Each structure stands twice: as structure tokens, then as C-alpha cells.
Structure 1
Amino acid sequence: MRNYQTYLLLIVTFFTLFTSPIFASDIEYSYVPKKVYEKQVFPISFLSTSSQKERITFQFADREPVIKDAVIIKNGAKTFYTFYFKTTERLFQIPSITITLKGKKIELDGVKIPVESLGKRENFSGVIASGLKIKSYQASVYDERTNLITISIEAHDANLEDIYVSDAIKDGVEKIKRTGSKIEGDYHIVLPSEQSKLTFSYFDTMKDKFIDKKIPISIDDGSVAAQTDLNPKDDSFEILKKYTLIGLITILVLLFLWKRDFFYLIVAVIAAIILLTFYTPLSKVCIKAGSALYILPTPNSTISLYTDQRFSTTELGERDEYHKIEYTNGIIGWIKDEDICKN
């Protein structure tokens, strides 16, 4: 009997010395914010000192992180696992957290984080971030009375999907991509054509204050020209330019026939190309009733309206399966191939 007890003690001692069982001390909270704001995206981090090579899995009771997989950072013997969460409740809480490694489970106590509301601010866009920058922006004519501004934004720890500017007649967010703390996306906003700048603010959690962003609205000449060409009958100067080009081409051809100088022919060809490029009548297309009119030619684009009846209109351009058209009251947008009448 004594030999059996001695043998059992040796086995226990061996596994104690040469294996690494998972204890609660092997993983713990590294960072939990003391407070968050409503709709804020924020991190919760865990620190692991386990020497195990197997992947650790996390289960959050009654909660799902914004991104399923953790952001993992290794620093020597320490490994940090960070998840991002978002809340709209007055109290953010996770009842419990179950961590699994090599078939063993650890139960960590849940967390409770108070949620505060930000004070009202007139130009607040609803975005809360630890940093936000405007990568690029572009303004173009949307219709006779409005302009479309597309803003490419990059932010960290941000709820970019909630952005809204009170000046907007229409708006929407597309191409949202979240990688760890970083989020990128394109914000499209339709504003009155007389508005010369766009101002909005976001709340910076690092600086603990509102930060203003200002964008000047300037329509380039190409956009203005494209809009003018939609209604050439309303512009007598366009008619004058058209017939001036025709007259110039005629004179150049006559000079070539008389002088036999190819210089006149080359200039005549260039003038003819300009004439055909800018003054060739645009083709007509038939659009089905109930068709969606998109702001941009992309699958996730915001729908500006639905057509109320079948109609024919000018086709202004084409990109992949989308066609750029002019709707009533000078409204411009994109419709899909499937919305073009077949007969």
C-alpha cells in the first residue's frame, strides 16, 4: 500500500513540474475603460502569461465584439488580446467571460462600465473616436440645386457607421472596413449648391473634447461643364461655340484644299474631334418604373429615390453594370442594367 502511495506521489510531482496547467493567474484583464460614451467603440484587453502555444478562445456572455477575432500583440513572454465593443445602453456589462486553452476553461468575472451621454453640440456628427482624419474629398454636381460631396475618412476606435451631418439633404456611408482599432469608409453627403463649406465635429476620446473638421466645397470645371451639357438648349453661348467650331473646320478644310498644307488639315481634324467629343448628342435609354436611383455606381451605394413611372432619359455615362442618367428636375444618379427597358 505504501509503495502505491509513493508511486502516485511521484506521478503527481512529475506532472506538476513538467506540465503547465492553466490557472486563472495565467490570463487576466489588461485594460478595461472606467467609462464610455453612448455609441462609442472601445477596447477591452486581456494579458496572458501562459507558455502554451495553442490558440486561446474567448466567449463573452450576452455580448458580441465588433470584430470576432482579437487583435493580438506579443511582447516577450506576455501576449495581449484586445477586443472592441460598442454599446448604446446606460450600463455596459458582460456577465462573465469564458476563456479556453488546450481544452481547459477559465471563468473571469464580468465587467460593468458606466455609459455617459455627450453634451449637445450643434455640428456634432455623432462620431466618437480616439483620432480622425480626412484622407481626401471630392465635390461634384448632383442636380440643378445640390452638390454631392464624397469624403474618405480614417479613424481609430470610431463608430464611423453612425456619422450624420445635420446639413445633409441626403447622406450615407459606404466601403466601411474595420481592421483592429482602425476604421475606414466613404461618407457621401448631398448639400445645397450655394453652400460653400462643410463643417462638422467629432468627439476625441484622447483629448476629451470636440474637434472641428472643415471642408471647402469647390466644384471643378469638369463637373460644371458636364452639368451645363445636360441642357444645351438653355445656353445660347454653347450654340455659338458649336457653330463657331463648325465654321472654323470649314475654313481650315478650304485652306488645306487651296494651300495643300497639311498643317490646316491637322488643325481641322483636332477641331472636329473637339466638336464630336463635346457636342455629339447623348443616347437615350428607357427606365422601368420603380427603379432604384443610386448616388454612386457601387453595390452598397445609397439609394436616393425610386422612379415613379416608366420614362426615357439621356444616358450620361456607363460603368460596369451601372448607367448614369438624368431624372426629373435635373437629378442625376445611377441605375442598374436590369432596370433598363428591354423593348
Structure 2
Amino acid sequence: MQSEKVLYVNYEDLPKRIVKGEIFPITIRLLSTTDKYEQIKYNFSNQDGLKSLNSIPYRVENGKYFYDTFYYLANSSWARLPDIEAYIEPNPNNKYESTVLKGKKLNVITLNPKNNFSNIIAEHFGLVEYKTTSFDNLHNIIVFVAEAKRCDIANIEFKNVYKQGIESIIESIEDSKITYFVVVDKKVETFKFSYFNLEQNRFNNIHIPIIVDDDKVTTQTDLKPKDQSKERIKLIIALSVALVLLILIVWRKKYIYSILLIFPVAYITFLSAPSKNLCIEEGSNIYLLPVSNGTIFETTSETIYLQQEGKAKGFVKVKLKSNKIGWVKNENICKY
């Protein structure tokens, strides 16, 4: 049986230029002159300087035409689109010719950013929330959640920081989200970095003010900066209430107020209670954040006793002998 040409493929949308590190779409227009098939498939070959992000296209149908979109990441300063072969799998009743759309060379530009560039190239990038806490005597740790569109968000990286890393990440072609930490010198008052905005075709700056929480708690669900004096204010209010009740008791000799005095006194005792010491097993990992697959910055070489500072789901916050704050899984607490 002689093969028949029934597929016609052309580029519908090609970018005039792309930036090295950019995620970009290529849309092709496909026309089939037959409906006697189950599926149209593609083969790709001879691409250069690109990483393919989807082999199955995002398809939009309009009349007789299919508009199929493929996404690529430009990871080189020279790039060529692949040759795209569209075909219908033959069966005993038909045999159709495949159609090849030849790849094209792309105009790739390489950025020349300043030293504070974060390696982020995105259609949009923005902070959702952030928090700064004390890491040790010399450093603070900034934890932030950011969202981005059309971005290789895992490529984020900063220069001139003490430590950094990804705590959690959701990668997607269109919408990505990341929780990231940066450890910086205590002298830094504002953490500043830039990213390249593809829509605006320019570098945009991001500023995170350093507002250090006294409680030294950092979790992914509680990252927004809080008033450093909040606990102190609560203590002052409780003391004031207790003092007023005490004056009423002495002045009016109304000893019934003694019952009400129990509540502020109990709260003051709770706020002022010393931290509890915990036994941590040998070989326990000390995490930077209370995240199961988070960054480990220390492992205990022996059984040790540490000061408990707080709790999170599945984790206990501890104060190390170096005055650093870390998190230990509940399963690593000694069992008596």
C-alpha cells in the first residue's frame, strides 16, 4: 500500500529572541486531512542548547487545526530547535507519510548582571512571605517563600552569603514555588537581590528587611515578620492585671479577687518558665528548619542534653551548646 501525505506542520509562533536561562514556548500549527487515526505523535531530533520540558504537547483545537505547544529551557548561548517529525502510527488499513518540520536556530542573548543577581529569569517572581531569626552569634537566617511564572526556580543562588539552600520546592512550567533559606552576617540590615523580568525586559530588585524575631522559631507555615516585643508586651499586660487585682485585694479587702489573681499569675509563670532539657540520641541529625528533607547542619557524635526552645509538627526546637538553634525529629529524643 502506497503511503499518503495527510499531515501538514508549520511554526505558528517563534520567539524573536530568548535569554539564556529562559523557559519559552514553541507553538506549531498542525493540519490533518484525514480523521482515520487514533493519535498523532512526534519525534524530536538534532536539538542543541535546549532542554525539553514536555514531550506531550499542550494542545488547542481550532477548526481543522491543532495548535501544539512545547516548552524548552535555553541552557546555552547557542541554541537550535529540534527537527520535529509528526506521524500517525500505521495499521493494516492505512499507511500515512510522516511530516518533518526542520528546526531553526534561535537568537540567544546572555545577560551581564550585577553581583546581586539571583540567577532567576522569570515572567514573574515575587515573595509570598519571609521571616528572619537568629542563626548564631554572628549570623541571621532569612527564610522566604517565593512564587514564579515561567521560571527555572531551582536555579536560584546568591553570592556572598554564609549558607543557603532549598527547603522545599514545587516546580512547574507555568507556576513554581520555593521555600529558601539564606544565612547572612548580622551586620546586614536589608537583604537585596535582583532577578530578570522577561515581560518588562529588565532587572528588578527584591528587598527583604532584616527584622529578627526573638523567639528564634522558623517554620514554613509561619514566615511573616512579627513584632519582636510581642511576648514582652504580653508579660507586661499580665503583670499589670495582677498588680491591679492585688491592689484591689489589699485596699478593699475583697479576698474574692484572689481567685481572679490565679489566671495572670499562672500566665506569668508560663511565660517565665525555663526551657526544658532534652536527651538527644547519638547520630541524630540537627536540621536548619523543621522539614523532613531539609538541610542538616550538624549530626550528634554522642548522646547529648540540649535545651528545648519549642515544638513543631514532628520536630523539637533545641538550642545547641554553640548557641545555634536547630530542629530534631521527635524520633531522635531519648526514650526512657
What is the TM-score normalised by the length of structure 1? 0.73
Contact preservation (8 Å) 1:42, 1:85: yes
Q: Is the aligned partner of 1:224 residue 2:214?
A: yes
Identify if the C-alpha distance between structure 1 residues 67 and 280 changes in structure 2 by more than 3 Å, giving closer, same or farther.
Answer: farther
Higher RCO structure (Cα 8 Å, ≥6 apart):
2
Name the residue aligned to 2:257: 263
Q: Distance in 2 between matches of 1:178 and 1:139?
A: 25
Name the residue aligned to 1:28: 10
SS at match of 1:277: helix
Counterpart of 2:11 in structure 1: which amino acid?
Answer: Y
Identify if the C-alpha distance between structure 1 residues 202 and 225 changes in structure 2 by more than 3 Å, giving closer, same or farther.
Answer: closer
Counterpart of 2:79 in structure 1: which amino acid?
Answer: F
Name the residue aligned to 1:132: 125
Name the residue aligned to 1:60: 44
Moved more, 208-217 or 88-97: 88-97
Contact preservation (8 Å) 1:313, 1:326: yes
Contact preservation (8 Å) 1:253, 1:265: no
- Paired residues in the alignment total 307
Name the residue aligned to 1:288: 281
Counterpart of 2:45 in structure 1: which amino acid?
Answer: A
Give a deviation string over 1:62-81, Cα, whole Å, max 9, x none.
77633454333445554432
Q: Is the aligned partner of 1:330 residue 2:323?
A: yes
Name the residue aligned to 2:68: 81
The counterpart of 1:91, out of the listed 78, 87, 90, is: 78
| Larger radius of gyration between Structure 1 and Structure 2 | 1
Identify if the C-alpha distance between structure 1 residues 24 and 316 changes in structure 2 by more than 3 Å, giving closer, same or farther.
Answer: same
Q: Distance in 2 between matches of 1:174 and 1:83?
A: 29
Contact preservation (8 Å) 2:28, 2:68: yes
Q: Distance in 2 between matches of 1:329 and 1:99?
A: 63
Contact preservation (8 Å) 2:287, 2:298: yes
1:185 is displaced (CA, Å) by: 1.7
RMSD: 3.8
Give a deviation string over 1:291-326, Cα, whole Å, max 9, x none.
332222223323333345432101222223222111
Percent sequence identity over matched residues?
Answer: 25
Identify if the C-alpha distance between structure 1 residues 313 and 67 changes in structure 2 by more than 3 Å, giving closer, same or farther.
Answer: farther
1:126 is displaced (CA, Å) by: 0.8
Q: Distance in 2 between matches of 1:41 and 1:130?
A: 9
Moved more, 313-322 or 109-118: 109-118
Name the residue aligned to 1:182: 175
SS at match of 1:328: coil
Q: Distance in 2 between matches of 1:152 and 1:339?
A: 28
Structure 2: which 5+ runs fail to align? 91-95, 218-231
Identify if the C-alpha distance between structure 1 residues 274 and 167 changes in structure 2 by more than 3 Å, giving closer, same or farther.
Answer: farther
